[in-house]
């Protein structure tokens, strides 16, 4: 017998054709589609408004490549890092980040990564493959269920800041967000979604041409090509001038101001001169800046900047009328913070105790 098809790879039109070819009425495809994407079914047995005969036929022809929760680890600040097993036994990570104002899911788009950013644990891995759009969608569904179960609060935000470069998995990225925001899917607002990129200029322009409505963040970390080349090899083919042009195009088309993410490293990019260069870059496009404290990985190549320098850096930006936020890391004790995913993955231990108490 031929291998079963992954039913979640089919569009509604494709599914309708296949259902009609089975000898069933076309409206059955809409029912199945709603079960898959709105009701989040991952088994035909759950589709109770279908006949047993149709469910049997579907089970014979199709399957679900659903992800499974392999392990969870809970931080002292109640951030939860999850290891998800894919249908081919690959492992990815996704994080639930609870704060007083938000309940955020940080999701992955690739198994591994190909960009080799010097400060990132995932960048030390090879890229194995892109995730399918349903595998991205599943992370959101499962982390949302976790948020409601453990903290009695549903997700408010989604950030594509986990493993991999989102714009190098463009098709699955867009398809997953379409499902997440569609009223036929999860119905979340695109304004609650942020896609973070290391900077793929032609894909940023494509986002603009596609009229996306979600937020865009650029992992900048240096507004100086020489420094950025040292920590982010992608800058050699997508330098600051090229990115500046792409971001201007994005803003002109979408009217959405990008966010520049700036991890501040000790004795590397934490001087006022670095802030001067960042201000100059920010002037090119309406934008805002998130200063992110560095989270150490095993190689010890970089260290977190001194708090006094971080504060002085932020104060200089504010003095030049730049919108700036210092983002404090969460989940550092379980390697769930920015840049740490895949760090010590083999050491994840099961944690059975979760706390349902007011977020603080």
> Tokens 């047995």, residue?
45
The CATH 3.20.20.70 portion of the chain extends over 68-345
**338 counts as catalytic:** yes
Distance in angstroms (rounded) separating the CA atoms of residues 166 and 117: 14
Residue among 37, 153, 65 at smallest CA distance from 105: 153
Q: Is 152 exposed, middle or buried (0-12, 13-18, 19+ CB in 10 A)?
A: exposed
- Residue from 93, 135, 165, 293 carrying the catalytic annotation: 93
Q: What is the pTM of this model?
A: 0.88
Q: What is the DSSP letter of 243?
A: H
The CATH 1.10.150.530 portion of the chain extends over 11-63
Return the CATH number of 11-63, one of 1.10.287.70, 1.10.150.530, 1.25.40.390, 3.40.50.720.
1.10.150.530
**Which pLDDT does position 126 carry in this prediction?**
81
- Residue from 113, 120, 282, 338 carrying the catalytic annotation: 338
Distance in angstroms (rounded) separating the CA atoms of residues 292 and 324: 11
Q: What is the mean pLDDT of each run of 10 residues along the chain (360 residues)?
A: 86 96 96 95 95 96 95 90 94 93 95 88 83 97 96 96 96 97 94 97 98 98 97 96 98 97 94 98 96 76 90 97 85 50 41 29
**Which pLDDT does position 211 carry in this prediction?**
97
**120 counts as catalytic:** no
**Which pLDDT does position 178 carry in this prediction?**
97
The alpha carbon of residue 80 and the mean position of all alpha carbons in its chain are separated, in whole angstroms, by 15
Residue among 164, 127, 162 at smallest CA distance from 143: 162
> 68-345 sits in which CATH class?
alpha beta
**Which pLDDT does position 132 carry in this prediction?**
96
Q: Is 353 helix (H, G, I), strand (E, B) or coil?
A: coil
Residue-wise burial string across 299-324, b where 16 or more C-beta atoms lie within 10 A, e elsewhere: eeebebbeeebbeebbebbeeeebeb
């Amino acid at each position: 017998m031929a291998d079963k098809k992954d039913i979640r790879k089919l569009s509604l039109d494709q599914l309708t054709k296949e259902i009609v070819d089975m000898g069933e009425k076309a409206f059955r495809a809409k029912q199945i589609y709603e079960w898959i994407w709105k009701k989040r079914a991952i088994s035909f047995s759950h589709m109770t408004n279908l006949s047993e005969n149709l469910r049997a036929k579907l089970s014979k022809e199709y399957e679900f490549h659903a992800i499974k929760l392999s392990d969870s680890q809970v931080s002292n600040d109640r951030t939860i890092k999850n290891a998800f097993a894919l249908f081919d036994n690959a492992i990815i990570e996704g994080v639930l980040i609870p704060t007083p104002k938000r309940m955020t899911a940080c999701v992955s788009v690739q198994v591994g990564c190909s960009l080799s950013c010097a400060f990132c644990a995932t960048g030390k891995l090879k890229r194995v493959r892109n995730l399918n759009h349903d595998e991205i969608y599943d992370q959101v569904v499962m982390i949302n269920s976790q948020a409601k179960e453990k903290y009695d609060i549903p997700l408010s935000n989604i950030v594509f800041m986990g493993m991999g470069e989102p714009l190098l998995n463009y098709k699955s990225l867009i398809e997953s967000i379409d499902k997440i925001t569609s009223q036929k899917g999860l119905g979340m607002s695109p304004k609650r979604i942020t896609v973070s990129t290391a900077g793929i200029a032609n894909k940023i322009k494509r986002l603009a041409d596609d009229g996306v409505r979600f937020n865009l963040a650029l992992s900048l970390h240096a507004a100086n090509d020489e420094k950025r080349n040292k920590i982010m090899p992608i800058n050699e083919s997508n330098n600051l001038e090229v990115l500046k042009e792409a971001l201007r195009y994005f803003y002109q088309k979408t009217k959405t101001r990008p966010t520049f993410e700036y991890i501040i490293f000790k004795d590397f990019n934490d001087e006022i001169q670095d802030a001067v260069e960042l201000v100059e870059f920010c002037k090119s496009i309406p934008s805002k800046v998130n200063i992110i404290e560095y989270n150490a990985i095993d190689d010890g190549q970089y260290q977190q900047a001194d708090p006094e320098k971080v504060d002085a850096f932020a104060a200089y930006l504010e003095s030049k009328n730049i919108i700036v936020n210092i983002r404090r890391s969460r989940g550092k004790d379980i390697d769930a913070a920015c840049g740490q995913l895949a760090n010590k993955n083999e050491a994840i231990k099961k944690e059975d105790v979760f706390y349902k108490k007011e977020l603080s």
